[in-house]
Structure 1
Amino acid sequence: MTWGEQNTEEEAHEQLDYALSVGVNFIDTAELYPVPPSPKTVGRTETFIGNWLAKRGCRDKVILATKVAAPLPGVDRSWVVGNRTDPPTPDAPQPQLDEASIRSALAASLRRLQTDYVDLYQIHWPARYAPLWGKRQYRVEEERPVSTSFEDQVRVMGALIKEGKIRHWGLSNETSYGVAQMCEAAKRLGVPPPISIQNDFAPVYRMYEEELAETCAPSAYNLGLLAYGVLAGGTLTGKYGTDGSKPEHGRHVDFPNFQPRYFNPRTLEAAAEYAALAKRAGVSPATLAQAWCASRWYMGSVIIGATSMEQLKENVAACLVTLDESTLAAMDEIHLRHRNTNATD
């Protein structure tokens, strides 16, 4: 999701070449990317990936995932819808998750990705009101009329699978209620259920464990977690100090108002403790966070992102690290002292 904003197309292709060469086979993107999202750059990440797939002829070697944007009241994202046509459509409506909207979004993603199918198509966030992106309290006064029912969303996913345009579908930024409703609707309609949930998850944000893990367990609805934000936007790399020190460039330096939940005094304090533990364990802070996430029983894939080849190589190498029991126990001890520091309410 940095490709097209923090990274050029040449850099994106260099990263993709390396990742594929060392065994990475899952590529996750979205029609909204790159981030921070903007009308100027929207869709570039998919375009960069599509050009790479066409140039390398390696579509059959990767599991390709993308996402459809959902409505977000109070935030203008009409340019996401406008970007679904070539050339873009001016004065487009806001994103929705009805059949016509999902189909137009997928058609645009397929065009940019230069493929006739995606392996995993994800609903980027719920169509209904739900606490998102660090918010945890459900506020009944923020409820709104549901623009598209669970059944209608599930029905179109089933149709797209039958048509061969998607292989599987998944959820993102979802709650237990949403997972259950989607899966039960799939049962009623005879549609394959969602297979994954892509949610915010990190050593400093372990909300998934509290009850979503039960909802998505193999004994329940059987969705694998695709964890994003495992480094809290880079805060867990150790490059930001509690004394205010920071690198010349970085997510929270270049875009200080983007994803502020990842960068606050509580998370910085926790990051310092995790960095000290990483030093004792003989690994980098980033490796500690990623290897810990990968060790969770419910993990489908730990999503990594990098703006440099050095970061990418470190991230990939983390999958080869197995943390010992004492280190895992120490992670839990730190978590009890600094519990879910990315939460904003």
Structure 2
Amino acid sequence: MPVPSVMLGSSGVFVSMCCLGTMTWGDQNTESDAHAQLDYYVFKSGIQNPFVDTAELYPVPPKAETVGRTEVYIGNWLEKNPGARQKIFLASKVSGRSHRGWIVANREDPPGKEAHTRLSRDQILAACDASLRRLKTDYLDLYQLHWPERNTPTFGALDYQRSKDNDDDVSFDESVGAIGELIKAGKVKHWGISNENAVGVVKYLEAAKRLGVPPPVSIQNDFALVDRRFEQDGTAEACSPQSSGVKNGVSLLAYGALAGGTLSGKYLEGSKGDVSKSRHKLYPEFQSRYHSQGTMDAAADYIQAAAKHGLSGVDLAYGWAATREYMGSVIIGATTMVQLKANVEAFEKEVPKELLEEVERINLKHERPYFRGSERLGRNMPPPEKKEL
């Protein structure tokens, strides 16, 4: 079956269920690699309504010497492919609150003065202009707030700690007001949020309604077979048409659906794949939740279940995510063309009902596996033992 397209929130725009992620371009991938992936995904894969997602922060892990490089690669590709800009739905992100002053400095060319990143009006406007310059385009189809301004659990953290609240948070109204300005100026068509929870969804929806700004069309969150917090902690409900008051609701853009590659099986004992240049090996402390012992154990069970139906772990991970009723698009990532093609092909396969039922049984056995033997218990833990298939 062809890769399906889905309407993204209240945008009225259809995008591919398979979104091309770009966060390794400029670190694990060269510019030539990036352009080859874009050529395949946009022109050769047969995907309708191609959707490309990036961010001012990329590539990851974030570093001063590489920040913004991913957008530059995409901009160079757009420049040498006239007409491609109108063919793709292009998304980027502005950084939330952080001490990474070099992100702010990189918004100027040549780099300017460093300052903490914030979701203030001035910073959102400046960040958007910088992304447009690097991407060599005059508009973004989707502009996302990459992570929250306020103190709240993000990136694998579990617990909210009131003692860490700030007394100088930029207001939701100021952030949304800046987005409204970008929409009126024609620089942004639609907007979304990222790494958010039910509180953030409600607050942003309320601010948009107060200010007369269109509501967010999407929320980009970590979501996978091994991390279903989005549908369990009230966030999916807050995004629903009924709760949000928004026609078609706020769509999920799922990242991490392969748990950084763990659900492909390549890190499991008996795998024949070369992982020497993989993210978990190069940067074991980055997103270590993706290769916690609990995640490894769960991955082995999911892959065994998929194999009984003639599917790979990749097929199941992406195919299952695509069945969720609130899904707008599943973001894929690849460092090789072989991986990219396998990822795209996964969306062309159907996950049988019997396997979906087995997924629920495995989920009960491995509830929140990310957090067993993960960075939540200590960032300097030894690597997990390999789990046999």
TM range (shorter): over 0.9
Q: Matched residues in 1 for 2:343 and 2:298: separation?
A: 20
1:129-168 pair list within 5 angstroms: 129-168=151-190
2:370 alignment partner, SS class: coil
1:219 alignment partner, SS class: helix
Q: Matched residues in 1 for 2:320 and 2:224: separation?
A: 9
Higher alpha-carbon deviation: 34-43 or 241-250: 241-250
1:12-51 pair list within 5 angstroms: 12-21=34-43, 22=45, 23=47, 25-51=50-76
Q: Matched residues in 2 for 1:315 and 1:42: separation?
A: 26
1:320 alignment partner, SS class: coil
Q: Matched residues in 2 for 1:263 and 1:242: separation?
A: 13
User: 1:285 is matched with which residue?
Assistant: 313
2:144 alignment partner, SS class: strand
Q: Matched residues in 1 for 2:168 and 2:355: separation?
A: 45
Asked if the contact 2:224/2:258 (under 8 Å) is kept, the reply is: yes
Q: Matched residues in 1 for 2:151 and 2:269: separation?
A: 35
1:220 alignment partner, SS class: helix
1:105-254 pair list within 5 angstroms: 105-210=127-232, 211-221=234-244, 222-241=249-268, 247-254=275-282
1:258 alignment partner, SS class: coil
* 1:261 aligns with one of 286, 289, 294: 289
1:317 and 2:342 matched = no
Amino acid of the residue matched to residue 31 of structure 1?
Answer: E
Asked if the contact 2:198/2:235 (under 8 Å) is kept, the reply is: yes
Asked if the contact 1:128/1:145 (under 8 Å) is kept, the reply is: no
* 2:95 aligns with one of 64, 69, 77: 69
Q: Matched residues in 2 for 1:247 and 1:319: separation?
A: 24
1:83-102 pair list within 5 angstroms: 83-89=106-112, 91-102=113-124
Deviations 1:129-149 (A, max 9, x none): 010111121111111124210
TM-aligned CA distance change 1:272 to 1:288, over 3 Å? same
TM-score, normalised on structure 1?
Answer: 0.96
Q: Which runs of 5+ in 1 are unaligned?
A: none
Q: Matched residues in 2 for 1:209 and 1:179: separation?
A: 14
Deviations 1:164-218 (A, max 9, x none): 0000110000010111011011111111011100000000000011111111012
Q: Matched residues in 2 for 1:146 and 1:269: separation?
A: 42
Asked if the contact 2:25/2:70 (under 8 Å) is kept, the reply is: yes
1:194 alignment partner, SS class: coil
- Deviation for aligned residue 1:248: 2.3
* 1:272 aligns with one of 278, 300, 325: 300
1:214 alignment partner, SS class: helix
Q: Matched residues in 2 for 1:138 and 1:293: separation?
A: 27
Amino acid of the residue matched to residue 38 of structure 1?
Answer: K
Deviations 1:203-259 (A, max 9, x none): 000001111111101222210000000011111110112699972221101111111
1:170 alignment partner, SS class: strand
Asked if the contact 2:201/2:238 (under 8 Å) is kept, the reply is: yes
Asked if the contact 2:265/2:271 (under 8 Å) is kept, the reply is: no
Q: Matched residues in 2 for 1:235 and 1:50: separation?
A: 31
1:301 and 2:323 matched = no
- Deviation for aligned residue 1:281: 1.5
Asked if the contact 2:139/2:188 (under 8 Å) is kept, the reply is: yes
Amino acid of the residue matched to residue 186 of structure 2?
Answer: G
2:359 alignment partner, SS class: helix
2:241 alignment partner, SS class: coil
1:301 alignment partner, SS class: strand
1:303 alignment partner, SS class: strand
- Deviation for aligned residue 1:326: 0.6
Identity across the alignment (%): 50
User: 2:32 is matched with which residue?
Assistant: 10
TM-score, normalised on structure 2?
Answer: 0.85
1:55 and 2:80 matched = yes
Asked if the contact 2:225/2:317 (under 8 Å) is kept, the reply is: yes
Amino acid of the residue matched to residue 292 of structure 1?
Answer: W
Deviations 1:81-101 (A, max 9, x none): 111011111x41111111110
TM-aligned CA distance change 1:307 to 1:244, over 3 Å? closer
Amino acid of the residue matched to residue 164 of structure 2?
Answer: E
Asked if the contact 1:128/1:146 (under 8 Å) is kept, the reply is: no
1:233 alignment partner, SS class: coil
Amino acid of the residue matched to residue 4 of structure 1?
Answer: G
Q: Matched residues in 1 for 2:275 and 2:117: separation?
A: 36
- Please tell me the root mean square deviation across aligned C-alpha atoms, in Å: 1.4
Q: Matched residues in 1 for 2:214 and 2:357: separation?
A: 38
Q: Which runs of 5+ in 2 are unaligned?
A: 1-22, 378-389
Which of the pair has the greater relative contact order for Cα pairs under 8 Å at 6+ separation? 2
